[in-house]
Amino acid sequence: MNNAFLPGGELEHLTTFVTSLAIGLLIGLERQRSPAARAGLRTFALVALFGTLSAMLSQKTNSPWLLVSGLFLVGIMMIAAYFRKLDELTDPGTTTVAAILVCYGLGATVWYGESTLAVMLAIITTILLYFKAELHGLTQNLDRRELISMLQFAVLTFIILPILPDQNYGPYDAINPYQVWLMIVLISGVSLMGYIALRVVGQRYGTVLLGVFGGLVSSTATTMVFTRYSKDNSSLAKLAVVVILLANLTVLVRLSVISAIISPVILPKLLPILGMGLMLGLMAAAFWWRELTRQAELPMPETRNPAELTTAAGFGMLYGIVLLLSAWLSDIAGSSGLYMVAIISGLTDVDAITLSSLRLLDLGKLQATEAVTAITLAVISNIIFKLGLILAIGGSLLAKRSALGMIITAIGLGCALILSGK
């Protein structure tokens, strides 16, 4: 038998080069579509193979300069190709130059044993190249306010979070500055995605996305805004009902995702309860959707930037207070004390009690059933509070229309909670 085909023979690294070839062909396939590109399938495939070959020679000769020199040569080659015919192009070709340098780097990455990472990055690179028009449209739709929001979120995440101490302080060791701020980052991140999506695509795609994105940012704010609009314009009443119901149902999905990230162990007990409320609520939302006979231009809810430092700090303070109260009342009054905090805090915000319950669960100070009960009671309390807001601000007609979906959602949550305890 020919030893060249055995492990350790001449073809030992054939799979590595085949992977590099596939990466080059994938990226090159997208670039081949661009008439202004000076590199296509063959060039990208060869550059990826060259990257792997350079990495192999660099390792075997113990000379990193071979790998660096290869990258330099590829860059010079592509710049020269565009420079020679610059007058014929409207596109200066910087994207293709960058793509081919990335392709070279991915070929080298494959040699160093990171094939999975290289393939993932190749797919991401191809997606970025392919969706050029959509990405340009997205950046044009983002105004100064949205850009500032993203920068503020970056400050919360990458500047403030890393410098906070990761240790417990205070009574019951309930306050951990790093964990508190991590919860702020989590909630701000989820809210920021909805905040930006609401402004970029919410009005364009209508009622459903406006309700979902509004629920991601703030279901309370969305409820209040559309309640006011329906009061001023009765023709918006049915639209308002659908948006309000969807915004409040999005809270249940949001809590499920947050719980899955923070404490997945609670999901088997929590998901059936939230799922029951979601299913019944969606039935009511579908009913009012069918009643919605005509589309109108939807007003955008005015919501605060969730990544503002004052907003984040305010939520952090609320979360810390709820965390301390929950630990204290659970210690002196048992589960009934925690449930009291859940009902009171849930009137205005369900995130704080949810995160504090999950935190106490991770610390071993709560049982999973107690945490699930506290979260469910907070959601029911929040629904009742919003229904009261609708009655006070929008009047009895809107309250009656919204009550169907909101009450059966609360009933579904309550019944599922009772059944789970049996």
- How far CA 200 is from CA of 21, 298, 340, in Å, comes to 38, 14, 39
Three-class SS string for 295-310? CCCCCCCCCCCCCCHH
Provide the residue range defining the domain that includes 329: 143-420
Q: Element (H or E) spanning 215, and its range?
A: helix 207-232
Report how far residue 245's alpha carbon sits from residue 207's, in angstroms, rounded to the nearest whole number: 11
Local structure of residue 9 (DSSP, 8 states) = S
Residue with tokens 């081949």: 32
Say if CB 328 and CB 365 are below 8 A apart. no
Residue 191 inside a domain? The answer is: yes
Task: Identify the weakest region by mean pLDDT among 105-119, 164-178, 252-266, 318-332.
Answer: 318-332
The reply to whether 103 and 181 lie within a common domain is: no
Confidence of residue 1 (pLDDT cuts 50, 70, 90): very low
The yes-or-no verdict on residue 213 having pLDDT over 80 is no
Phi, psi of 175 (to 5 degrees): -105, 115
Query: What is the pTM assigned to this prediction?
Result: 0.61
The reply to whether 250 and 381 lie within a common domain is: yes
Degrees to nearest 5, angle at CA 70 with 68 and 74: 120
Residue type, 15: T
Number of domains forming the structure of the chain: 2
The yes-or-no verdict on residue 386 having pLDDT over 60 is yes
The reply to whether 163 and 69 lie within a common domain is: no
Residue 79 inside a domain? The answer is: yes
Residue where a domain terminates, one of 75, 109, 130: 130
The yes-or-no verdict on residue 76 having pLDDT over 90 is no
The residues with which 169 forms a beta bridge, in sequence order, are 175
Residue 104 inside a domain? The answer is: yes
Report how far residue 420's alpha carbon sits from residue 270's, in angstroms, rounded to the nearest whole number: 9
Report how far residue 407's alpha carbon sits from residue 172's, in angstroms, rounded to the nearest whole number: 37
Specify the pLDDT at position 279: 93
Residue type, 36: A
Q: Three-state SS for 175?
A: strand
The reply to whether 148 and 70 lie within a common domain is: no
Structure tokens at 12: 């030992």
Q: How many residues does the chain have?
A: 422
Residue type, 218: S
Residue 138 inside a domain? The answer is: no
Residue 313 inside a domain? The answer is: yes
Residue 401 inside a domain? The answer is: yes
Phi, psi of 174 (to 5 degrees): -85, -20
Q: What percent of the chain has pLDDT over 90?
A: 11
Report how far residue 190's alpha carbon sits from residue 194's, in angstroms, rounded to the nearest whole number: 7
Give residue-wise pLDDT tens across range 275-285: 999 999 998 88
The reply to whether 94 and 149 lie within a common domain is: no
| Burial state string for 188-226 with b = 16 or more CB within 10 A and e = fewer than 16 | bebbbebbbbbbbebeeebbebbbbbbbbbbbbbbbbbb
Q: Three-state SS for 169?
A: strand
Residue 105 inside a domain? The answer is: yes
- Is 87 or 284 the better-scoring residue by pLDDT? 284
Residue with tokens 């605060």: 304
The reply to whether 92 and 155 lie within a common domain is: no
| Burial state string for 400-412 with b = 16 or more CB within 10 A and e = fewer than 16 | ebbbbbbbbbbeb
The reply to whether 125 and 171 lie within a common domain is: no
The reply to whether 90 and 203 lie within a common domain is: no
The reply to whether 72 and 157 lie within a common domain is: no
The reply to whether 76 and 178 lie within a common domain is: no
The reply to whether 115 and 213 lie within a common domain is: no
The mean pLDDT of 259-287, rounded to a whole number, is: 90
Residue where a domain terminates, one of 130, 157, 173: 130
Residue where a domain terminates, one of 75, 96, 130: 130
The reply to whether 233 and 277 lie within a common domain is: yes
What number of helices (H) and strands (E) belong to the chain? 18, 0
Residue 124 inside a domain? The answer is: yes
* CA-closest candidate to residue 21, choices 38, 6, 7, 42: 42
The yes-or-no verdict on residue 7 having pLDDT over 80 is no
